[in-house]
Amino acid sequence: MLGFFFDNSRCTGCRTCEMACVDYNDLPAGRKYRRIIDYEGGTWIDNGDGTFSTSAFCYHISLACNHCANPECVHVCPTGAMHKNDLGLVVVNNERCVGCGYCTIACPYHAPSIDPILRQSSKCHGCSDRVAAGKRPICVEACPLRALDFGEVDDLIARHGTFDANILPLPDSKLTSPNLMVKKSPAADSEMAEEGSVVNWLEIENNHEE
Ligand code: SF4
Ligand code: SF4
Ligand code: SF4
């Protein structure tokens, strides 16, 4: 089974992965297959002695399709267009997609969106052509912080250890069993993460405008 590893403690939110994907896939302005979620929280605390401390935190999540073991997008597609290819990666068959958008609603990670020109679903294809040729995805190669990795899940575990995909604000991984392992930053791994919020909704949601 192929999947992604993401080291949240390394990611600086630079968006090089996002841009490398846009360039490789020749996507028009505003469309992205990989997005960066900026998640922030915390406050200033008055210590009562004329000093202040802060609990402010910020972390970033680089997210594309997770090529889930239990892909809701595939289950709801009425034409079989959304499917797992020979590599086990979840991709769209453009000859079958009727642009109904069911996959965009079913995916808890909001990975697929309807291409406004093609009127068909499109999303991260896991760089299937590169992977079939023994190469790694462009986004993984591009990350200057080496925060991303890709490969057989067993190999990822051997290289990085075992992690799940449960990090705020992502949904519970029980929903689709994503092939994504996330190594959390200290902030993401602490209770204060529950007090945070996504601060770049506009940037993320633009990806889904039709
Ligand atoms: S992340 Fe979403 S689009 Fe990708 S396989 Fe999982 S359910 Fe489908
Ligand atoms: S695997 Fe390929 S298509 Fe998917 S986000 Fe990375 S560069 Fe884009
Ligand atoms: S290129 Fe690497 S460090 Fe930069 S946003 Fe992407 S995953 Fe994070």
As a whole number of angstroms, the distance between CA 139 and CA 64 comes to: 10
- The pLDDT assigned to 209 comes to 47
- The pLDDT assigned to 161 comes to 98
DSSP of 151-198:
EEHHHHHHHH----S--TTSPPTTTT--SEEEE--TTTTSGGGGG-EE
- Strands in 197-198's sheet, in edge-to-edge order, are 57-63, 35-41, 197-198
64 lines ligand 1 (CB under 6 A): no
101: nearest Cα among 84, 83, 122: 122
Give the pair of three-digit tokens for residue 136.
């790694």
The minimum-distance atom of ligand 2 relative to the CA of 125 is 3
Pairing mode, strands 35-41 and 197-198: antiparallel
C-beta of residue 5 within 8 angstroms of C-beta of residue 90: no
Each residue's pLDDT tens digit, 68-114: 999 999 999 999 999 999 999 999 999 999 999 999 999 999 999 99
pLDDT for residue 61 is more than 80: yes
Task: Please name the helix (run of DSSP H) or strand (run of DSSP E) that holds residue 134, with its range, or none.
Answer: none
Nearest CA to ligand 1 atom 5: 67
CA 13 to ligand 3 centroid distance, Å = 5
Confidence tier at 207 by pLDDT (50, 70, 90): low
Exposure string of 188-199, with b = 16+ CB inside 10 Å and e = fewer, is beeebbeebeee
The minimum-distance atom of ligand 1 relative to the CA of 106 is 7
77 lines ligand 2 (CB under 6 A): no
Each residue's pLDDT tens digit, 123-181: 999 999 999 999 999 999 999 999 999 999 999 999 999 999 999 999 999 999 999 99
CA 12 to ligand 3 centroid distance, Å = 6
Name residue 38's beta-bridge partners: 60
* Average pLDDT of the residues of the chain: 96
| CATH numbers and ranges of domains, the chain | 2-208 (3.30.70.20)
The minimum-distance atom of ligand 1 relative to the CA of 110 is 2
Each residue's pLDDT tens digit, 23-56: 999 999 889 999 999 999 999 999 999 999 999 9
Each residue's pLDDT tens digit, 189-200: 999 999 999 999
3 lines ligand 1 (CB under 6 A): no
Q: What is the CA radius of gyration of the chain?
A: 18
- The pLDDT assigned to 47 comes to 95
